[in-house]
Amino acid sequence: MSKKDKIVYQIYPKSYQDTNHDGWGDIQGVISRLDYLQELGINYIWFNPMIVSPQKDNGYDVADYRQFDPRYGTMEDFEELAREAKKRGIDIMFDMVFNHTSTEHEWFQKALAGDEKYKKYYIFKKGKAPGVPPNNWQSKFAGSAWEYVEKFDEWYLHLFDKTQADLDWTNPEVRRECADIVNYWRSKGVHGFRFDVINLISKKSFEDDPNNYDGRQFYTDGPREHEYLKELNLSSFGNDPEHLTVGEMSSTTIENCIQYAGDDCNELDMVFSFHHLKVDYKNQMKWELQPADFMSLKKLFNKWQIGMQEANAWNALFWNCHDQPRSVSRFGDDKKYRRESAKMLAAALHMMRGTPYIYQGEEIGMPNAYFTDIHQYVDVESINIYAVLLQQGKTEEEVIHILQERSRDNARTPMQWDDSENGGFSDVKPWLQSASSYKDINVKNELAAKDSIFRFYQKLIKMRKEMPIVQEGLFYPLLEEDEKIFAYERKYQDESLICVNNFYPETATFTLPLEGYEVILSNYEDVTVSDTMELRPYETIVLYKK
Ligand code: GLC
Ligand code: CA
């Protein structure tokens, strides 16, 4: 199975490398950095959407599924990128945003103009009473999930921003259109697809959420979800033996993921689930801070590793993406132990069973942006929630602090290549300001550093490519009750690999029968193996025995 030796690198193209001096990353910029990615060793790149979009949600509001936004480049640029990537053993994964389109998309515009065919592409409903939306669902970006259209005296559903109208997947024409789009990109040589919030496409019913919550129970992992995915698979990428697909699954369950990403289910190759990235949400609330709950994190990893493995299903492994704050700031220590903790987090993740994803800048330990002023933010979610939190009575200072920890812009600031202006991303003002950390934390420094995070990632990647036990080995949790250490074993034939990780800035001691094991990777020098060992702050050790 091809997915098992893949390491996917995620590029947020708007922030990777600008080459034509407009402060906006472009395809040529990515081409100019392919040697860097080859050196890192990854074999797949997932690109966030580069197609035509008003950019209200940075490309997740699609206005044309088949055209590049000229700010990124042209089809010729893309073909050059695909060729140059292939030469370096790198494949390409595109992002398919099929739960919704931009309200600027031709379909929605036709719907608004009264074309019945296209009106049926979307979810329009009558309100409960004049001025009252069809139900109490909340948009994921704050406020009601419904927007009123006076002309029809109806409301359309938008689970995200009001400029992102939900498509009606019960309509077979919508499903056909989506398959056609996948096939269009397949004809351009794309084998990889990431499906955006794909477990929200089947809505169960449109009743009020009795818990006065956001309504997610009525549209998450809905009743026809698996049917739709099987159909999409059959009518598009499933015909390509080389395909690699991943679904972004919001608030999902293992039971559903077993089907989404089970070996014989004919849906997807793997899933992103997010439970492990909510352990620092107080009462499950994204905008309420608490320190990461380590025991929950550990339990979630163990549960998903074992749950998926027992059903022959496959996880995507990730700490970071364009929607999450930076992991080194969140689960590590981005000051005193930045290098140690960045490496520990990397090893803890990469040695698990699944396909690892590296988000741009993670391989050099980029921390959160820590913006201090709301005007520095661009993200629609951050700007919306800023207003809501102020309204709820929080002070400006409190809200900025929350955004410093939680905003998606923490991950979206320009890639830090060197210490020149804007971190070498662009010689003009970037669309989103560079994080001030670029002066010290950048690719140039990291490549030269003796204890380089980049070099550590290189090793992890090489291990996955070369070691069947990393690709195939079964996962068994170890030291489950330990309050500081996350540890597990992988087993394959007569081999064993043990990964032990100290998630704390203090020492931690453990006991395991380690006779015959050798250390194959660690983030400190001089590790001596014995049955009882003391780990230093954020120490990680990978042990191997045959
Ligand atoms: C996904 C994307 C996110 C986007 C949302 C709506 O969660 O990763 O960036 O805002 O879907 O498309
Ligand atoms: Ca540019």
The ligand 1 atom nearest the CA atom of 250: 7
> What gap in Å lies between CA 265 and CA 184, rounded to an integer?
24
- Residue 299 CB partners (closer than 8 Å, separation 6+): none
pLDDT confidence of residue 74: 98
pLDDT confidence of residue 540: 98
Considering every ligand atom shown, identify the ligand nearest to the alpha carbon of residue 72 and give its number. Answer: 2
| Cα 68 to middle of ligand 2, angstroms | 13
- Which of these is catalytic: 18, 61, 166, 196? 196
Encode pLDDT of 249-271 as tens digits. 999 999 999 999 999 999 999 99
Does residue 444 carry a pLDDT above 50? Answer: yes
What angle in degrees, to the nearest 10, is found between the helix axes of 172-187 and 225-235?
40
Encode pLDDT of 312-330 as tens digits. 999 999 999 999 999 999 9
For residue 44 the two structure tokens come to 């797949």
The number of residues in the chain equals 546
Mean pLDDT of the region 524-532: 96
> What gap in Å lies between CA 309 and CA 301, rounded to an integer?
12
The rounded mean pLDDT for the chain is 97
| Cα 86 to middle of ligand 1, angstroms | 28
Query: pLDDT band for position 211 (50/70/90)?
Result: confident
pLDDT confidence of residue 2: 80
- Residue 313 CB partners (closer than 8 Å, separation 6+): 257, 258, 259, 260, 261, 262, 263, 265, 271
What angle in degrees, to the nearest 10, is found between the helix axes of 453-466 and 338-350?
10
The answer to whether the CB of 123 is under 6 A from ligand 1 is no
Considering every ligand atom shown, identify the ligand nearest to the alpha carbon of residue 272 and give its number. Answer: 1
Among 160, 246, 250, 320, residue to substitute to test ligand 1 (most atoms within 8 Å of Cβ): 160
User: Within 13 A of 454's CA, how many CA atoms are on the CB side?
Assistant: 22
| 106-166 to CATH, choices 3.40.50.720, 3.40.50.10140, 1.20.1250.20, 3.90.400.10 | 3.90.400.10
Q: In the CATH hierarchy, which top-level class contains the domain 473-545?
A: mainly beta
- Residue 217 CB partners (closer than 8 Å, separation 6+): 204, 209
pLDDT confidence of residue 1: 47
Residue nearest to atom 6 of ligand 1 (CA): 60
Among 60, 94, 97, residue to substitute to test ligand 1 (most atoms within 8 Å of Cβ): 60
Which residue type sits at 209?
Answer: D
Considering every ligand atom shown, identify the ligand nearest to the alpha carbon of residue 10 and give its number. Answer: 1
Q: Which helix (H) or strand (E) holds 501?
A: strand 495-502
Among 46, 48, 57, 320, residue to substitute to test ligand 1 (most atoms within 8 Å of Cβ): 57
The answer to whether the CB of 196 is under 6 A from ligand 1 is yes
DSSP 174-206: HHHHHHHHHHHHHHTT--EEEETTGGGSS----
The answer to whether the CB of 197 is under 6 A from ligand 1 is yes
Catalytic-residue membership of 263: no
| Cα 360 to middle of ligand 2, angstroms | 17
> What gap in Å lies between CA 223 and CA 256, rounded to an integer?
11
Domain locations along the chain: 8-99+172-372+415-457, 106-166, 373-406, 473-545
| Cα 525 to middle of ligand 1, angstroms | 41
pLDDT confidence of residue 317: 98
Q: How far apart are the first and last CA of the chain?
A: 24
- Residue 152 CB partners (closer than 8 Å, separation 6+): 119, 124
Which residue type sits at 123?
Answer: I
The answer to whether the CB of 160 is under 6 A from ligand 1 is yes
- Strand spans (E) along 403-539: 474-478, 485-492, 495-502, 508-511, 518-522, 532-535
For residue 466 the two structure tokens come to 């070369």
pLDDT confidence of residue 481: 98
pLDDT confidence of residue 15: 98
The ligand 1 atom nearest the CA atom of 161: 6
CB 100 within 8 A of CB 165: yes
For residue 36 the two structure tokens come to 């860097």
Q: Residue 132: helix, strand or coil by DSSP?
A: strand
How many Cβ atoms from other residues are within 10 Å of residue 401's Cβ? 15
| Cα 247 to middle of ligand 2, angstroms | 29
Q: Residue 226: helix, strand or coil by DSSP?
A: helix
> What gap in Å lies between CA 197 and CA 309, rounded to an integer?
23
Domain 8-99+172-372+415-457: assigned CATH number:
3.20.20.80
Question: Would you say the C-alpha torsion 167, 169, 171, 173 has a positive or negative sign?
Answer: positive
Distances (CA, A) of 278 to 53, 251, 266, 284, 545: 29, 10, 29, 7, 35
CB 492 within 8 A of CB 474: yes
Q: Which of 177, 180, 186, 179 is nearest to 117 (CA)?
A: 177
| Cα 358 to middle of ligand 1, angstroms | 18
Burial class (CB in 10 A: 0-12, 13-18, 19+), 289: middle
How large a percentage of the chain has pLDDT more than 90?
Answer: 99
CB 540 within 8 A of CB 501: yes
> What gap in Å lies between CA 314 and CA 112, rounded to an integer?
41
Mean pLDDT of the region 497-524: 98
pTM, 2 dp: 0.98
CB 364 within 8 A of CB 457: no
CB 498 within 8 A of CB 360: no
For residue 417 the two structure tokens come to 């290549």
The answer to whether the CB of 178 is under 6 A from ligand 1 is no
Does residue 111 carry a pLDDT above 90? Answer: yes
Query: pLDDT band for position 212 (50/70/90)?
Result: confident
Encode pLDDT of 340-382 as tens digits. 999 999 999 999 999 999 999 999 999 999 999 999 999 999 9
CB 507 within 8 A of CB 535: yes
Catalytic-residue membership of 5: no
> What gap in Å lies between CA 273 and CA 250, rounded to an integer?
7
